[in-house]
Amino acid sequence: MNRSIMDSDEMTLSEKFSKKWKSLNRLERTAICVLAIFVMGVIIFTLGTNIGEAFYRAFSG
- The rounded radius of gyration (Å) of the Cα atoms in the chain is 21
Q: Which tops the pLDDT comparison, 53 or 11?
A: 53
Residue 59 has pLDDT above 60, yes or no: yes
How far apart (Å, rounded) are the C-alpha atoms in residues 15 and 46?
33
Which CA distances in Å does 27 have to 9, 19, 24?
30, 17, 8
Average pLDDT in the chain: 85
Residue 18 has pLDDT above 80, yes or no: yes
pTM greater than 0.75: no
Task: Give Cβ neighbours of residue 12 (< 8 Å, ≥ 6 apart).
Answer: 6
Residue 3 has pLDDT above 90, yes or no: no
Average the pLDDT over 43-53 and give the result. 90
Residue 6 has pLDDT above 60, yes or no: no
Cα dihedral value 44, 46, 49, 55, nearest 10: -80
